[in-house]
Amino acid sequence: MTVFKFTAKNGRIDYIVTNKENPTREYVKSIMDARWSVEVYHREVKQNCGIERCQARTSRAQRNHIFSLFLRGLNNINVVYLKK
């Protein structure tokens, strides 16, 4: 097990633990950056698509809600395209 300490510019300290054999600091940083980009994506989806306000509880209802948002997005693209 290897522990890495990362200090942010604002002074926040993150400790990352891995069980990978002989990891480099650059490898761990690339994994952290990829993880952060997923977090940013989920935050933007929740804020911009209204997913966090969805009251659907079953997986089927959630898929239907997300698909309807996708179709609305396609509809908006078509409207913009037709206006040109």
Q: What is the reported pLDDT for 45?
A: 76
Q: What is the reported pLDDT for 47?
A: 77
Q: What is the reported pLDDT for 81?
A: 45
76 pLDDT band (50/70/90 cuts)?
Answer: low
Q: What is the reported pLDDT for 32?
A: 84
Bin 81: left if φ > 0, else alpha if -120 < ψ < 50, else beta. alpha
Residues 24, 30 contacting (CB under 8 angstroms): no
| 16: pLDDT strictly greater than 60 | yes
Question: pLDDT, tens digit, for every residue of 44-63?
Answer: 877 777 677 777 788 888 78
